[in-house]
Structure 1
Amino acid sequence: MASYEHKQLAQYLKDVHSNLRISAVTLGAKEAWARHCKNKDALLTYAEYMEKLATVFWEENYGNEDSSATSRIQWSVELCNDYFIKKEFVKFSAKDFEISKKLNIQLSHKESFTETLQLLDVGSCYNPFRSYNLFNVLAIDLCPANQYVKECDFLNVHIGKETIVHENIIKELKQKSFDVITFCFLLEYIPSSDLRITACENAYKLLKPGGLLIISTPDSKHVGANCKLMKCWQYTLACLGFSRIRYEKLKHMHCIGFRKALHKDVAVRWATIHKKPFMDFSIHIPQDHSKLEHHNTTIPNIDISPDDFKHLPFSDL
């Protein structure tokens, strides 16, 4: 069972997410996000709490299947090893070329990855990927928890011809320069579907052709509970130019690997063929549909149950 401090830290994070979503309803998502980004004290507290949860409490469960914090990182590393090192990308590339012929598209891009993979870890907090030699990591967050992370608002960062860092702040990110981009427990932080789509659009611009976007999102329910929601995610990412290459529902989260297709229309073809009536162009999370009981932007004092944090580093945010 989680300790009192563990639960208190996790509850703070949960409340920050909840109040950001409420602010998005009352103020509009963009305005709510802008105000949130200016609240440096709250961001610093969030970063400190997140790092402590990860490096103190989550480490106790390292290697345990109940540890979402560690397994999401390991899942991402294993996918990258299979895709890049074991060259699984070759079969997906062949499929892109096969589909392109059916669409009468002349592909001008082929995969070209660096030996040490260029990884952009968005919403990194404390840069958990830095211990892996497989990657050259650029870790970014609204408020870095340590010196290994750069400050950056990924939703509003300028994407251009080079990556520019000034005094530990990202001023510009170079387009088509990353082999891998990770969104580990990021999208549920962002307060609206439109802004989550913006994050994925930016990832598309920054990835090399054939590069990977890896997403993990918490969900402790059984595999079928939110399957339609996950299908909508797949449909939306396909419309943006991503092909889903791996999906796994672990005990407390979804882990998804998307490949940037060599031509956007290759992925769009899947969306066109497989669209179901319930699918729409959106990236919703279950909490978007929850009843909003608080209409203020302060952090409320909410009673919590130990069961809420029995397994997850923080309850399904």
Structure 2
Amino acid sequence: MASEEHKELASYLKNVHSKLRKASAKNGSDRAWLDHCANKDVLETYAHCMEKLATTHWTTNCASDTSGATSRIQWTADFCFDYFLNEQYMRFKAKERNIAEKNNLVQDEDEHFSNPVHFLDVGSCYNPFKVYEYLNVFAIDLCPANNSVLQCDFLNVLVGAETIINNCEVKQMRSSSFEVVAFCYLLEYIPDSNLRILACQKAYSLLKPGGLLIINTPDSKHVGANSKLMKCWRYTLACIGFMRIKYEKFKHMHCMAFRKTLHKDVAIRWATIHKELGMEYAINIPQDFNEDPDESLLDKGVQSDIKDFQELPFCFG
């Protein structure tokens, strides 16, 4: 059972998400996001709650031998190790080149990766990936929990020829400079589909050819419950230029890895061929479909949302 502190922390986080979605529906996502970013009290409390959950409740429960837990952090780090250091990327590169040749697509790009791996952790909070020596972590957050994380609004940061940092705030990031961009429980924070797509497009511009976008998102339902949404995610990311190369559904989350293709048309071709009825260019989460966004925080959708975050700390570090 979750402790009272655990429940309170989880409920605060999900209430912030809910209020942000409601403000987005009422005032537009751009206005709602800017207003949220300007609310320093909420951002600081959110950062404190997230760090407390992750470093106290999530870590403790993930260490339990009986929990059946899978850590989103460990899953991401392990996949990066296999992909880059064990050179699993060569297998995906070969498949991609085969598709390109059959379709007369000229691939001018090639993989050139660093060791340690340049790793962008978006919405990092407290920089959990810093313990992995094979990752060179660039950690950013709206409101960092400690000084190993830089302040940055990822949705509005510029992408250019160089990275610019002023007073621990990231003003601009260099394009095609990372092997990995990680969204660990990030997209459900962003209030609507359009802004989530913008985040993925920005990740694409920051990744090197063959690099990875890794997405972890909470979901306590069975694997088929939100399969239509996950299909839309895969289709949308393919339209942007990503091929999904790894997917696992655990008890309380989806874990996905997407490869930035050497030729964007390889991914777009997949999206065109595999498009099914009901697939749309959208990255939605279940909570986007609450019938009345003006209902109280005790509506069914938000209660389900809060339940996910109360359960998640038992399993994910």
Asked whether the equivalents of residues 201 and 240 of structure 1 are also in contact (C-alpha less than 8 Å), the reply is yes
Distance 1:146 1:52 in 2: 12
Q: The residue matched to 1:120 in structure 2 has which SS?
A: strand
Asked whether the equivalents of residues 182 and 213 of structure 2 are also in contact (C-alpha less than 8 Å), the reply is yes
Deviations 1:142-165 (A, max 9, x none): 110111110000001000011111
Aligned length: 311
Cα drift, residue 61 of structure 1: 1.1
Aligned to 1:214: 214
Aligned to 1:160: 160
Deviates more, 1:182-191 or 1:89-98: 89-98
Does the C-alpha gap of structure 1 residues 67 and 208 become closer, same or farther in structure 2, counting only changes over 3 Å?
farther
Asked whether the equivalents of residues 185 and 216 of structure 1 are also in contact (C-alpha less than 8 Å), the reply is yes
1:123-138 equivalences in 2 (<5 Å): 123-138=123-138
Q: The residue matched to 1:283 in structure 2 has which SS?
A: coil
Cα drift, residue 185 of structure 1: 0.3
**Which sections of structure 1, spanning at least 5 residues, go unmatched?**
none
Distance 1:42 1:301 in 2: 20
Amino acid at match of 1:182: A
- Tell me whether 1:193 sits opposite 2:193 in the alignment: yes
Asked whether the equivalents of residues 14 and 314 of structure 1 are also in contact (C-alpha less than 8 Å), the reply is no
1:43-192 equivalences in 2 (<5 Å): 43-64=43-64, 66=67, 71-192=71-192
Asked whether the equivalents of residues 124 and 140 of structure 2 are also in contact (C-alpha less than 8 Å), the reply is yes
Distance 1:67 1:281 in 2: 34
Does the C-alpha gap of structure 1 residues 193 and 304 become closer, same or farther in structure 2, counting only changes over 3 Å?
closer
Identical aligned residues as a percent:
57
Does the C-alpha gap of structure 1 residues 307 and 20 become closer, same or farther in structure 2, counting only changes over 3 Å?
closer
Does the C-alpha gap of structure 1 residues 309 and 100 become closer, same or farther in structure 2, counting only changes over 3 Å?
closer
Asked whether the equivalents of residues 106 and 263 of structure 2 are also in contact (C-alpha less than 8 Å), the reply is no
Aligned to 1:18: 18
**Which sections of structure 2, spanning at least 5 residues, go unmatched?**
none
Does the C-alpha gap of structure 1 residues 77 and 17 become closer, same or farther in structure 2, counting only changes over 3 Å?
same
Q: The residue matched to 2:243 in structure 1 has which SS?
A: strand
Distance 2:191 2:35 in 1: 12
Does the C-alpha gap of structure 1 residues 103 and 202 become closer, same or farther in structure 2, counting only changes over 3 Å?
same
Aligned to 2:230: 230
What is the TM-score normalised by the length of structure 1? 0.93
What is the TM-score normalised by the length of structure 2? 0.93
Deviations 1:173-210 (A, max 9, x none): 00000000100000000000000000000000000000
Distance 1:110 1:249 in 2: 31
